[in-house]
């Protein structure tokens, strides 16, 4: 398929999980993809190799989205490699759950600097490269922005802030042919979820029991919707918060 043919996409935090799946699905639809990573070079190169092995086009670029200098370099390297930038997916994020008594200035700022300020940095750079043709931004939020969980106060607050950015910027971009939407995943089986001990736990079983579609999500479930939002099939959609959670966050 070629819904994203001749498009260039930057996907942040794409060395694993949802970001990696989005990068691979974009490439399968014809996009040239920049697989951004902060520290996992091996993971990012694995994603690139999978894409190129299937005949797609991709490069890996290291950058910490919370570092403005890194973000500027990320987009410069993208332009040098592909000449244009059409799509930005803000997927990079940190996932810290802890009781409010344990929230420290360090963990608070780490969460907001990556999940919120990092997205602002990447959007600022993307706007410099979109040009008159416009562009497309997809912010990967979370179902927890609408339905915060215990010990997730700060994480949920970052995602709620990201959603507010989406809505505000959709209006700010009026007349510039730039679309921006939030994609809110539910519980998804990723490397991080395994590392946290969530997959296979009683907590996961509890979520599945409350999920109308009766299973934990997979990264591909999110990537397929991201392709839709990145393509012309969603040309009349902007400023929306689209929940993809099997129904558990559908209220």
**Three-state SS at 170:** helix
Here the tokens at position 28 are: 């399968």
End-to-end CA distance of the chain: 34
Separation between Cα atoms, residue 193 and residue 174, nearest integer Å: 38
- In the DSSP assignment, the letter for residue 39 is S
Q: Residue 203 class from Cβ within 10 Å (0-12 exposed, 13-18 middle, 19+ buried)?
A: middle
**Nearest alpha-carbon partner for 86 in 3, 172, 6, 25:** 6
Residue 249 annotated to the active site? no
**Nearest alpha-carbon partner for 91 in 140, 35, 164, 20:** 140
Separation between Cα atoms, residue 68 and residue 55, nearest integer Å: 33
Element (H, E) at 222: helix 219-230
Residue of 25, 37, 97, 155 marked catalytic: 155
Here the tokens at position 66 are: 């919370």
Phi, psi dihedrals of residue 13, rounded to the nearest 5°:
60, 45
Q: Which residue has the tokens 């510039």?
A: 176
List, by residue number, the catalytic residues.
155
């Amino acid at each position: 398929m070629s819904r994203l043919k001749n498009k260039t996409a930057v996907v942040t935090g794409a060395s694993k999980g949802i970001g990696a799946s989005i990068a691979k699905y974009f490439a399968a639809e014809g996009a040239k993809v920049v697989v951004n990573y902060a520290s996992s070079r091996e993971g990012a190169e694995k994603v690139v190799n999978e894409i190129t092995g299937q005949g797609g086009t991709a490069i890996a670029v290291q950058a910490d989205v919370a570092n403005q200098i890194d973000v500027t370099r990320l987009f410069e390297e993208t332009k040098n490699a592909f000449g244009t930038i059409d799509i930005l997916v803000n997927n990079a994020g940190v996932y810290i759950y802890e009781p409010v008594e344990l929230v420290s200035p360090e963990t608070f700022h780490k969460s907001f600097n990556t999940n919120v300020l990092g997205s602002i940095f990447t959007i600022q750079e993307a706007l410099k490269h979109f040009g008159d043709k416009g562009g497309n931004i997809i912010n990967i939020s979370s179902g927890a922005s609408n339905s915060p969980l215990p010990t997730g106060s700060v994480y949920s607050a970052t995602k709620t802030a990201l959603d507010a950015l989406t809505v505000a910027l959709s209006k700010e971009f009026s007349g510039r042919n730039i679309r921006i939407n939030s994609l809110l995943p539910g519980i998804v089986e990723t490397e991080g979820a395994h590392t946290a001990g969530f997959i296979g736990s009683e907590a996961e079983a509890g979520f599945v029991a409350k999920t109308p579609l009766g299973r934990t999500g997979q990264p591909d479930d999110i990537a397929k919707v991201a392709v839709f939002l990145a393509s012309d099939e969603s040309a009349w959609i902007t400023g929306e918060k689209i929940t993809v959670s099997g129904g558990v966050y559908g209220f």
